[in-house]
Amino acid sequence: MIRFFGLILLIGCRSIPAASDRDCLPSKSRQVGAIQLGALMGLPGVYAFTAIATSPGMDRSSVTSELTLVSADTLQRYYERRIRGYVRSGNRPLVGALKHRSQGQLFAHNVVVQQNASDTQLISGYCELCDDASIVYYTILHVGRDRFSGRWVDPQTGIGIIVDQNGQPIPDPAGYFCAVRIK
């Protein structure tokens, strides 16, 4: 399995209506602190999720996937499942899945929306029962009636890192995203 979810995102999923770069613009908002809980609790639904890579070494690819968010139950909201059992950690009011198709195969990754004191993040690519998490952080900067947007980064925390044709590491993949409600 490819360690870096952002790369998989860049491979593409075109079964969902794709948004163009014009439809998904970088958020100009400078969110200070976490998104209000009331706004987050209005997000459950199904979204066309478009991520656009803008970091050096990336080709500004845009890829649209399907994101499903639901309200978390108490266990999912306050506890993380780890190899040694459940550990109390954070405030994750929403959980769900990010689905995309690559080379004819459907991939689904668990996601959580975690509310921290300084920001609110959609976190994808983690694995609950493994040692090599490949987490991508989508920091939510703006929440509207039927959409939300922000910036993403893959800090390349797993075993592998992305390199150029000369074997030199490229900067952490990053960019911006938007999610538009479809259901």
CATH of domain 5-181: 2.40.128.120
pTM summary value? 0.76
Residue 166 tokens, joined = 């000369």
Q: Each residue's pLDDT tens digit in the chain (183 positions)? A: 333 334 333 333 333 444 444 567 766 656 667 888 888 889 999 999 999 988 876 677 778 899 999 988 877 666 666 667 777 777 788 989 999 877 888 888 889 898 888 889 998 876 665 665 678 889 999 998 899 999 999 887 767 777 878 888 878 889 999 999 998
* 154 vs 134: CA distance, rounded Å: 8
Give me the amino acid identity at 28. Answer: K
Taking the CA atoms of 101, 114, 134 and 83 in sequence, report the sign of the dihedral they define: negative
Q: Choose among 39, 53, 142, 15: nearest CA to 94.
A: 39
Give me the amino acid identity at 146. Answer: D
CA angle 51, 52, 55 (to 5 degrees): 130
**To which residue do tokens 């979204």 refer?**
47
The residue extents of the domains of the chain are 5-181
